[in-house]
Amino acid sequence: MKYLVPFVFLMFLAACSPEQNSVDMTSERTARTQPDTQMELYAPSQHELFDGAFNIVGRSLYQVGSLNDSSPWDHMGNDASNVRAVAGEVVIDVNEIENSGTFYAQLILPEGTYRIELDRFNEFSPCQDGGIAAYLFEHGNAGCGDSNWPKSLLYVAGWGYGKAMLDGETLYEDYEIHFMVTQGMRDRESLSVQLSPTRGEAGSINPATQQVDFYIRSPERNDSNHPNREVFDHFFAMEVTWK
């Protein structure tokens, strides 16, 4: 059973002294505690109606870079200069309580029909709550996740191992996969990302939008690339439908 720490939901941000706003680097970081944020939410398990089921479809898909880019490459694409629209959809049908369910993406790329499937969920850090976590802050300076994305509330996210196939042939197997349903990290029009806020600590996101971001990456590293993996196939969806 997951251990959840009760939170109090704040409808506003309380004024704090500089000492109160300072980051306590000794605080534990988990799916229920992101110490470098100022807003707290009720934990999902505090809601008696929470069933853990997330059924979400992402469309209006984009790929960062391509499958055949020569190293060194940038597959974060924050300036959107190497982002291209692709056909297809990404499907999330998971249960956060049980750490179970299905994640796959079916994409039509210039190279062919590309499919990502997550085979098993896995917790790589305590923030990931068994492999699927809901309603946590991640990235930026949130204390969970890396700084390759801006700080955002993640409505649901999953981590684990899976495979990718091109026209039915396996390209990668037992590679790491991550998906997350986030607040709007990319500009509606330009698709660019602003990693750090110009003021405040709220994160460089647009809370009036949502997106799905996902990738499959190799265990092998390559420091010439960004991120530093031999393979990092990265996609995002700008239209998100909850069912």
pLDDT digits (tens, 9 = 90+) for 76-134: 999 999 999 999 999 999 999 999 999 999 999 999 999 999 999 999 999 999 999 99
pLDDT > 90 in the chain, percent: 74
Nearest to 192 by CA among 93, 113, 77, 112: 77
**Helix segments in the chain, DSSP class H:** 18-21
Residue pair 118/160 in contact by the 8 Å Cβ criterion:
yes
Average pLDDT of the residues in 183-211: 92
Residue 205's pLDDT is 94
More confident residue, 195 or 41: 195
Which pTM value belongs to this model? 0.84
Residue 196 pLDDT class (50, 70, 90 cuts): confident
Residue pair 184/76 in contact by the 8 Å Cβ criterion:
no
Cβ count near 243 (within 10 Å): 10
Cβ count near 114 (within 10 Å): 23
Contacts of 122 (CB under 8 A, 6+ apart): 131, 159, 160, 161
Instruction: Write down the mean pLDDT value for the chain.
Output: 89
Residue 203's pLDDT is 79
pLDDT > 70 in the chain, percent: 86
Q: Where are the domains of the chain?
A: 52-242
Average pLDDT of the residues in 56-72: 98
